[in-house]
Amino acid sequence: MELTFITSNEGKFREAEQIAAKYGISLKWKKMSYLEPQGSSLEEIASLSAEMLSKELKETFFIEDSGLFIEALKGFPGPYSSYVFKTIGNEGILRLMDGVEDRRAYFLAVIAYFDGSEVQTFTGRVDGEISTEMRGSGGFGFDPIFLYNGRTFAEMGEEKNAVSHRRRALEGFFTCLSDR
């Protein structure tokens, strides 16, 4: 089975490609960015984006909207993760968290799948902590500052794919496809 994944982010695509392969699914990369409506939640943003894309594209596809939610910052950057990463980056987040004791954070991924007639969403979450320094060279985005069981996602290499928010969202998605 082949599925089209629309994303401008190569890191996301490569991880999803590897995870999909474990389910016998091959992914086609449609490298494209699209306008993301403002919304209060990732679910809302992902489903509205997919609805809009479905009007232009006459094929089935999925997208994924993800973000880092930091408890001590009341969920920031959350839906603004992409903008915050491009502006203040990991150094900026570490500065905001300087001296903060509660370092709990989680990643959320919401997949929105257009099956040719309607949009369905699938969510995955992974809990961890914000480190006090950047560590590791793997992954992308916030991986060097996200601690999972003592190592950052950037230090975990491919092991990240066994436990990540992306893995968990894709698992729900692929399971649902195989039940059809």
178 interacts with, out of Na ion, ligand ITT, none, CB within 5 to 8 A per kind: none
Query: For 72, what's the count of Cα atoms within 13 Å in the CB-facing half-sphere?
Result: 14
Residues in contact with ligand ITT, counted by CB under 6 A, come to a total of: 22
66 labeled part of a ligand binding site:
yes
Write the binding mask 45 to 64 for ligand ITT: x where contact by CB under 6 A, - elsewhere. Answer: -------------------x
Give the position of tokens 């040719």. 116
142 labeled part of a ligand binding site:
yes
Query: Interface with ligand ITT includes 85 (CB under 6 A)?
Result: yes
Query: Interface with ligand ITT includes 33 (CB under 6 A)?
Result: yes
Which residues 67-86 are close enough to bind Na ion by CB under 5 A? 82
For 145, residues 6+ apart whose C-beta sits below 8 A from its C-beta are 90, 93, 94, 130, 131, 134, 152
Q: Is 63 strand, coil or helix?
A: strand
- Active site (annotated) includes residue 127: no
* Residue in 57, 56, 76 with CA at minimum distance from that of residue 67: 76
Looking at the annotation, which residues are catalytic?
65
